[in-house]
Structure 1
Amino acid sequence: MLLTSFVPMAMLVVMGALVWFNIYAFTVSPVTAVKIAIGVVPTVLVLGRGLWVLASKIDNPVHGVPVREHEQPELWALVRRLAEVADTAPPDDIHLIADANAAVMEDTRLLGLISTRRHLFIGAPLIAEMSSAQFAAVLTHELAHYSNRDTRFAGIAYRSRRAYVHTLATMNRDDYLQRGLHFLLRHCGAVTLRASTKLSRRQESAADEAAAGAVGSAATVAAFRELAPIAESWQAFLDNHLVVGWTAGYLPADAFAGYRRLRASLHDQLGELRANPPDEADPYDTHPPMSERIAAIDALRAVGTVRVPPGPALGLLHNPVPLLDAALLDGLVPEARTKRRVDWPTLVRIGGLAALTEATGTVLANAARLTARPPSLRTLLDALDAGLLTELGATPPGPAGPGGPADGPRVRYERAKLIVRKGLFGAVVTTLTEAGAVRWQESWPSVGAMRLDERYRVALPELVDAAVSERPDTAGLRALLDAAGQITRKATPSWHSYWAPRPAS
């Protein structure tokens, strides 16, 4: 408490000294005092706002899906037993969250000195992928922070850092007085932060020892080695796979089944990460390096005192799939609840077509405008045969942008070629997909794979390149589409521009 309150106390002392000095100057010479106040008052206001940040209420809304004891008695029973071993009271509530992490939080009063309610947050990816013993080690570590009163003092430390950062950020570096105070606070604060970091690391080590004492060193080490693989694979899943059909209005019906398949496909990479966890050195990191934590836990040779049910942590939950899905949705924007839920093969097809048809709507619309015919694939091929490639890929003119007067004919042609090729490829693949000549397959860890039926034995990209060449040749594409029975005089369905997912990491 002394360390974390040092900087705010220093700010208060400086502010008081400046006010006293200005008052004293007023008793000596009012004119001089007014001149001094011109520099002192802005500095006092900056320090005062920083201290107000320290005392103001911090809004920490409780998020996640509540895990009620009558619905999940086995999980609650394990948490209560682990809290007893950690020499603390159990949390007042448990929430399942979409982060690959676990945490505890306390609602407090009087700057964190009085506790009112305790919360335990459990990451859905952890309970989905860890064993029961590994999961129990993570829970014990978090609960041990309650027994050390870390969560209560963490509130004071957070408020102190918040006031410190806010004050430094709002100081006027052009003012000589504030520049000097900025220099002093920055260096004093750095010393204090380093000292508080050492305390935080000791708290983490104590929580690690509690986890090892509860479930054993082996399970605790295994849990800590699993944290980075889960975090890395979960982020890759969120970035590349979960939202593959988002813009089209779709989400997977069973997201965690896909996440499990992604992890299986990344077996070697995750194994390497498991064997060599990230070990970045940061003097202000509140956690010791992972290698040090693992070595210290392993040296304890603890056997554990809590009997944890064998098997995966998911076995602690009754009907886990809806609960995990609810936690995932809770971590997304509200719009996620409006998305249609489909199985993974369907999502792969939707996402793949969405990525390929970004330019298709524009190109088909240009073809229809240029030929006064319906916006169909046949219309597009006829326009290419007529030598209208540049016009098909035309973009709105601008003073110096794409399609503007500053562009020469060759530049406009090459730009149009790229656009038309992408739009044509999307239209052809969509048509062949509807005909059953193209199949979309899950292909973890990528977002999916497109497979042209082997009966056609053609290189589809080469046929598209021939159609958009300087001497367009659409015969190959027409033969392929005729073979699939899909070239008709009917207009194609409405085309939409969809977001293209990033390549899988």
Structure 2
Amino acid sequence: MRAALALVMLAGFFVLAVALTAGLTGIAIWRFSIGDVEGGGWMVVVACALGGPALWATLRALFARPEPTGFRMTRETHPELWRHVDELAGLAGTRGPDDIRLVDGANASVWERRGVRYLELGLPLVAGLSVGELRSVLAHEFGHFGGGHTQLSAVTYRAKLALELSLHGDHGFGLLSAWAKLYALVAASESRDHERFADEVAVAAAGRDAARRALLRSGPVGEAWNDYLTSYVSLAVTAGRTPPLLEGFRSYLDHPRRVHELRELEVVLAEREPTSVFDSHPPVRERVATMALLTSDDVPIDERPGWTLLSGVSAEAASHLVGLQGPLVTWEELVPLSGPAHVRRYAEALRHAGRVSKVGETLSDVLAALARGDLHKLTGAPVDASLTPEQVHEAAVDTVTELLAYAVADQLVTADRAVLELNWGGLFVLRLPDGAAIYPDDLVAPAVRDANRVPEVRLRLQAIGVDGL
């Protein structure tokens, strides 16, 4: 019932736009007919301004077609993946996809067009989940197929596109925006029911434990992927090279520090996830709690890493998903190519913060500020007013620790007193001439967290060759 109501409201949006334009045009014609040329002209302008964007967006959307993107994963190149897909589609009681695509982003989705069913799998999910967890993700998506949730995907795709294009330039005194919000409210409620149905299919097909683990882990894997792109893949962008993307992400996830961080992040993300009546998905904590109440057979979880299903994806194909181009290179070879420029950029960010805050630009100035308890002078007021004082402080500690560590690395590398080595657990490792390994973030962290430890950290920095302290 709500699905039909949502479609009616989508249609009503455009009926409203047409009626608004037609009504104003009618008034303009009437004004012209009584000889009020100026008044009629103004009404034409108003009609075009209010209804024109919605009508133009509708015309654009009518000719829009959803098209599959990403790397196509065929049966010939990925037989093991397709074996799981066929099995899970059978367990879900539905016809599986005709086309599977590997895409960027920690998400999975299904849609269909003219009877052809598509499955889009995010590379981070396949690389970051176990096979058992990935099976739950697949079963959930096939629940949407079986529930008929994708049958109107082409219609709703065009309608939503037109609605978004219209609202981008909405000047209808909020009338079109208000209607769009009402539609979103109805559509979100229906979508949440779809997600609950698909969760039940996932539990039945893949097992309760795998389904719950997949839900809790997907968010942290997405965060990890974003950090991986920012901290590591950015090195490849700077150097114009193509490192082994999948192997790098596996090394990132397998590092003991990352394993610990992701486990902690599962709880944090689930607890802090906001809720709204406009959300298309119920919050993860609610979905996990609901799954715990569902009956399920004891399905053993396949603990093999999901990336084993990606054996047919070349390094070039995976890298193209995130826009990487250039000659192939190992991660170890990449570091000397772009590492020094990378640390210099962040070191300059600390110097800039010191200038703006009047703390001072040098490492000595920053350490003196930390000794005085002036940590927050370096970071300034928080942009997000909803953060608690504890969250603001932790964010300041993390930011200054990172920037200060980069500044230390920059000085030592520039002075040829250390070389950079890759560290999948955090910042670079600094290798000193005597072979000693220094982890700059661990080295400076005590001074950032505790003003009383600044003298101790200063002495350690002097001992490894940092000047000007």
Q: TM-score scaled by structure 2?
A: 0.69
Q: Which moved more, 1:322-331 or 1:238-247?
A: 322-331
Matched with 1:346 is 333
1:11 CA drift (Å): 1.7
Taking the aligned partners of 1:22 and 1:127, their CA distance within structure 2 comes to 58
1:119-130 alignment to 2 at 5 Å? Answer: 119-130=118-129
Matched with 1:4 is 10
Amino acid at match of 1:127: V
Matched with 1:497 is none
Runs of 4+ with >4 A deviation? 20-26, 307-310, 421-427, 455-464
1:408-444 deviations in Å (ceiling 9; x for gaps) = xxxxxxxxxxxxx999854531xx6xxxxx4543333
Structure 2 unpaired stretches of 5+: 1-6, 346-407, 438-459
1:16 aligns with 2:22: yes
1:255 CA drift (Å): 3.0
Matched with 1:385 is none
1:165 CA drift (Å): 4.0
Looking at secondary structure, tell me which structure has more helix per residue. Answer: 2
1:356-388 deviations in Å (ceiling 9; x for gaps) = 678xxxxxxxxxxxxxxxxxxxxxxxxxxxxxx
SS of the residue corresponding to residue 203 of structure 1 reads helix
Distance 1:82 1:52, change over 3 A: farther
1:35 aligns with 2:39: yes
1:25-69 deviations in Å (ceiling 9; x for gaps) = 66xx43147723521454246424413322432254422111110
Taking the aligned partners of 1:126 and 1:273, their CA distance within structure 2 comes to 16
In the alignment, is the contact (CA less than 8 A) between 1:4 and 1:156 conserved in 2? no
1:229 CA drift (Å): 1.5
Taking the aligned partners of 1:47 and 1:87, their CA distance within structure 2 comes to 45
Report the count of equivalent residues. 374
Amino acid at match of 2:39: K
Q: Choose from 268, 283, 298 the match for 1:289.
A: 283
Matched with 1:299 is 293
Taking the aligned partners of 1:245 and 1:70, their CA distance within structure 2 comes to 31
Matched with 1:147 is 146
In the alignment, is the contact (CA less than 8 A) between 1:92 and 1:118 conserved in 2? yes
Matched with 1:337 is 325
1:230-277 deviations in Å (ceiling 9; x for gaps) = 11111111100122243233343x333332332232222211122343
Distance 1:315 1:355, change over 3 A: closer
Matched with 2:94 is 88
Q: Which moved more, 1:140-149 or 1:158-167?
A: 158-167
1:311 aligns with 2:304: yes
Taking the aligned partners of 1:68 and 1:308, their CA distance within structure 2 comes to 25
Taking the aligned partners of 2:411 and 2:289, their CA distance within structure 1 comes to 58
Amino acid at match of 1:75: L
1:404-483 alignment to 2 at 5 Å? Answer: 426-429=413-416, 438-454=418-434, 465=467
Q: Choose from 201, 205, 214 the match for 1:210.
A: 201
The percentage of aligned residue pairs carrying the same residue is 25
1:207 CA drift (Å): 1.3
Taking the aligned partners of 1:228 and 1:45, their CA distance within structure 2 comes to 42
Structure 1 unpaired stretches of 5+: 108-114, 173-180, 359-420, 433-437, 470-505
1:191-212 deviations in Å (ceiling 9; x for gaps) = 2221111111111111111111
Matched with 1:79 is 85
Matched with 1:186 is 177
SS of the residue corresponding to residue 291 of structure 1 reads helix
Matched with 2:259 is 267
Matched with 1:323 is 313
In the alignment, is the contact (CA less than 8 A) between 1:262 and 1:445 conserved in 2? yes
Taking the aligned partners of 2:307 and 2:436, their CA distance within structure 1 comes to 46
Taking the aligned partners of 1:308 and 1:422, their CA distance within structure 2 comes to 43
In the alignment, is the contact (CA less than 8 A) between 2:66 and 2:157 conserved in 1? no
Q: TM-score scaled by structure 1?
A: 0.65
Taking the aligned partners of 2:51 and 2:423, their CA distance within structure 1 comes to 57
1:279-315 deviations in Å (ceiling 9; x for gaps) = 222332211111111112221122278x886633334
Amino acid at match of 1:220: A
Taking the aligned partners of 2:71 and 2:89, their CA distance within structure 1 comes to 21
1:224 CA drift (Å): 0.4
SS of the residue corresponding to residue 119 of structure 1 reads strand
CA RMSD of aligned residues (A): 3.4
Bigger-Rg structure (1/2): 1
Distance 1:217 1:82, change over 3 A: same
1:103-182 alignment to 2 at 5 Å? Answer: 103-107=109-113, 115-172=114-171, 181-182=172-173
Taking the aligned partners of 1:156 and 1:456, their CA distance within structure 2 comes to 63
Taking the aligned partners of 1:147 and 1:194, their CA distance within structure 2 comes to 24
Taking the aligned partners of 1:121 and 1:348, their CA distance within structure 2 comes to 33
Higher relative contact order (CA 8 A, sep 6+): 1
Distance 1:442 1:142, change over 3 A: same
